[in-house]
Structure 1
Amino acid sequence: MGVTDTGRTMVLTLNAGSSSVKFAVYGGGEGQARLVSGMLEGVETSPRLSAQDADGKVLVDRQCSLTGDSDPHLAAIDLLMGWIDSHLGLDALAGVGHRVVHGGPDFHLPIRVDARTLGEMERLMPFDPLHLPACLGPIRALLTAHPDLPQIACFDTAFHAGMPDAARRLALPRRYDAAGVRRYGFHGLSYEYIAAWLSAAYPDLARGRVLAAHIGNGASLCAMQVGRSVATTMGFSVLDGLVMGTRPGALDPAVLLYMMRQEGLGADDIEKTLYHESGLLGVSGVSSDMRTLRQRENEPDVREALDLCIHRFTEQAGAMIAAMGGVDGIVFTGGVGEHDAAFRAEACARLAFLGVQLADEANLARREVISAAESRVRVLVRAADEEATIHRHVRDCLGDHAKRNAG
């Protein structure tokens, strides 16, 4: 099997999206290393389960058929837990940690889930009807199938909960804020990981002003001072801020009124346009995938999409830096931020007026530090690892629970 451990010491992390479930299993020995990483893709169409161990050895990679449950997401969890049971044994799991996209106005810390707290999270559906069902489905399935298995919900919005009131409030009548309609920010588990990594690896920078850039199919920026979020580009939803793969980012609300009045679009059609047909895909008419766009960047529409992406990055990076009163470091993370040297080079060239200078060779080689020695701002690259953050929260919550029981 390639993976062994003893006792009820392992932790499973689940990051469930609308069509996939990303998972990892951590051991309970010294260092609590990641033992398995995997993905269940194409949940609603043609499911494919893949996983590898810490050495990169493939443990499974096969097409699957989901049967027995009318909800494919719940059937997918049954399939995944069955595979984990056959390879590791469910009795080895001490707990399961979940990424939950939206914590609403009340969930600011990781929380152990029971039927009551699940019901409270389900009442947040109006805040994110597109993503929360996928996040909460696995929790509900595991509560039913494995009620004694501890589950911890970790919220993507929690890292931004301490933002100043001026950074989170919307300029709407106060009744909306009272109902929870405000700026929340997202990618918080990724930013929390970056903050912890900086604290360990670059403590002087962690104590300063850092622009963290999570750039992928979904993208946002976070202004971090002393490791805490003081501003971020995403707001009430994941639609706000930067140009993304299929989302437009910041948008004049009157555009939505135009869609309603001139095109007769209803909420469902507008939602489809904003979440699935806009951004890089909508402008280029080619793809939402930056790798594909780089191969065709000489085509006018593709070039326009790429230029718009960088232009919006520059605008909003300026806003985040202004919120901190300057910048000491920039960290690129996420799929594009980690792998696209051209994006990093173009973005940093726009920030050269701040004293940002890249070392071209280091940038192309994707070294950890890619800024030139003479740069006034350090620029770093770090792979996103939301699972590591979830794993830490599960360990902490289980430890706190054990202490309370012992007391």
Structure 2
Amino acid sequence: MTTAGLDDERIILCLNSGSSSVKFALFQCREPKERLLARGAVERIGLQAGLLRVLGPAKEILAELNRDFADHNVAVHAALDALASLNLPRPEAVGHRLVHGGAERDSPTIVDPRLLADLKKLIAFAPLHLPAEIKGIEAVSRRFPGILQVACFDTAFHRRLPEMAQRFPLPRTIWDHGVRKYGFHGLSYEYILDVLGEAARGRTIIAHLGNGASMAAVRDGQPLDTTMGFTPTGGLMMGTRCGDLDPGILLYLFREKGRSVAGIEDLVNHQSGLLGVSGISSDMKTLLEMKNNDPRASLAVEMFCYHARKHIGALAAVLEGLETLVFTGGIGERAAPVRRSVCRGLAYLGIKLDPALNESHAGTISTAGSSCKVLVVPTDEDLMIARHTYNVSSDREGPGRSSSRDGTGKH
């Protein structure tokens, strides 16, 4: 995990701030492994009937609170109050998941005024995510003035992509303005590669399939390409996002149908994907349950799998072959019918699924004779954030600090 000493134990809080929710996890980090103490979420921030729930390591409910949470500051303080009321240790450092770090940030970074200023300049690149994430950082600063905070960027992993993969076929001046493929889900990809270890050597495609979905082509640990592009809207078909789209469609909607920029943004991010095609739901589990009786659900599921299968073929071309295919994310880990459909027709890449292993969500779901190994690996982005934050805090402060239950930081 790091070069810190064996007795260098730290309590790390991980925060993932969304537009109307805050997810959190508390870890006890000590070489060579980490221990989850609690995780939870505050939901419906800024709306009526908010919910705060804290779960233990075995997913048992430790605390639950139904009330309104006016903003992210109130939500973060409520989450910290709930953790303190459970006599859990106060965090010594806080790691934040940030969807975007721009072109220059290629590793976890200590939060300071300069970083915050840089993040605010990037809001135009990620207007749906960065404002809430910045609010989460500011809320922690109010609760624990001076505490070490570390920004962990979903884009950092992809900064090692070859320039050819990062560029769009647009004029050079557009590149100079920062328009390029940034890629996302980087923390998930980092975690999967950590889990795979030596098994990640060779040509690997990691398919992070969830409500947001993307894939990455990795060779010997080096990313070569990814499906998401300038924003998390591009690439694969997703729960409510359209994925790759002919830009002429957007011009047509704007010019001929009078769609506003805000309307088009809502269309491609919140009305499309599984929800848009089915007209029923963005939830894959719901659509799988309905697909045999509702042709709209069936079409949405099959389109999702078709687009995923097509992107695997494209990324295999980038890799010049394929030795390992990894499914992760909520759909990738738990939807056996989706894995089966995605892999159908990929025998030319050496992919042969074992039906029984696939249905049981085994770690390896390919047959013994499959030249391409197909794996199911649960991701844990919170744990990746905890590891990054532990490493940064250890490098900054040196070994020897221990966790403390003194002071809840209550306001």
- Find the aligned partners of 2:11 and 2:251 in 1 and give their Cα distance: 51
Q: 1:384 — aligned with what?
A: 379
1:285-315 deviation line (CA, Å, top 9, x unaligned): 1110001101111322222212211111121
Which letter maps to 1:59?
Answer: L
Bigger mean CA offset, 141-150 vs 220-229 = 141-150
Cα distance in 1 for residues equivalent to 2:21 and 2:351: 38
Per the alignment, residue 16 of structure 1 pairs with 17
User: C-alpha separation between the residues in 2 aligned to 1:29 and 1:146?
Assistant: 22
3-state SS of the aligned residue for 2:253?
A: helix
User: Matched residues in 2 for 1:84 and 1:58: separation?
Assistant: 12
Separation (CA, whole Å) in 2 of partners of 1:350 and 1:184: 30
Q: How does 1:178-193 map to 2 (within 5 A)?
A: 178-193=176-191
Matched residue pairs, number? 391
1:239 and 2:233 equivalent? yes
State the distance in 1 between where 2:275 and 2:59 align.
Answer: 33
Q: Which amino acid aligns with 2:42?
A: L
In 1: Cα distance, 2:118 partner to 2:244 partner: 30
User: Matches of 1:338 and 1:32 in 2, distance apart?
Assistant: 22
Task: Quote the Cα distance in structure 2 between the aligned partners of 1:351 and 1:64.
Answer: 50
8 A contact 1:159–1:228 mirrored in 2: no
SS in 2 for 1:389: helix
Distance 1:350 1:42 in 2: 42
Answer yes or no: is the 8 Å Cα contact 1:114–1:143 preserved in 2.
Answer: no
Residue 263 (structure 1) aligns with: 257
Query: Does 2:385 correspond to 1:355?
Result: no
Superposed CA deviations along residues 341-360 of structure 1, whole A, max 9, x for unmatched, are 00001111131221211111
2:365 aligned with 1:370: yes
CA contact (8 A) 1:10 1:28 kept: yes
- SS of 1:93's partner is coil
Partner residue, 2:147: 149
Checking the alignment, whether the CA contact within 8 Å between 1:19 and 1:42 is kept in structure 2 is yes
Q: Work out the CA distance in 1 between the residues paired with 2:76 and 2:276.
A: 33
2:9–2:28 Cα contact (<8 Å) kept: no
Amino acid at match of 1:86: S
User: Is contact 1:118–1:140 with CA below 8 Å preserved after alignment?
Assistant: no
C-alpha deviation, 1:87, in angstroms: 2.5
Mapped contact 1:49–1:62 kept (Cα < 8 A): yes
**Paired AA for residue 276 in structure 2:** G
For residue 62 of structure 1, the aligned residue among 61, 65, 71 is: 65
Tell me the TM-score normalized by structure 2.
0.92
- 1:225 is matched with which residue: 219, 228, 238? 219
- AA matched with 2:218: M
Deviation at 1:8, TM superposition (A): 8.2
In structure 1, runs of 5+ residues without a counterpart are 1-6
One-letter code aligned to 2:45: V
User: SS of 2:13's equivalent?
Assistant: strand
> Alignment RMSD, CA only?
1.8
Deviation for aligned residue 1:62: 2.8
Change (3 A) 1:287 1:400: same
Q: Tell me which amino acid in the other structure corresponds to 2:84.
A: D
Percent identical pairs in the alignment equals 41
1:4 corresponds to: none
Report the TM-score when normalising by structure 1: 0.92
CA distance in 2, matches of 1:28, 1:279: 38
TM-superposition CA deviations, 1:240-276 (whole Å, max 9, x none): 1110000110000000101101111111011010110
What amino acid maps onto 1:43 in structure 2?
I
Deviations, residues 309-344 of structure 1 (Å, cap 9, x unaligned): 111112111111111111100110000000000000
Q: Distance in 1 between matches of 2:280 and 2:60?
A: 35
Secondary structure of the equivalent of 1:84? Answer: helix
1:48-104 CA deviation, whole Å, 9 max, x = no partner?
A: 11122223332112312325xxxx1222112112222332466x3110000000111
> 3-state SS of the aligned residue for 1:280?
helix
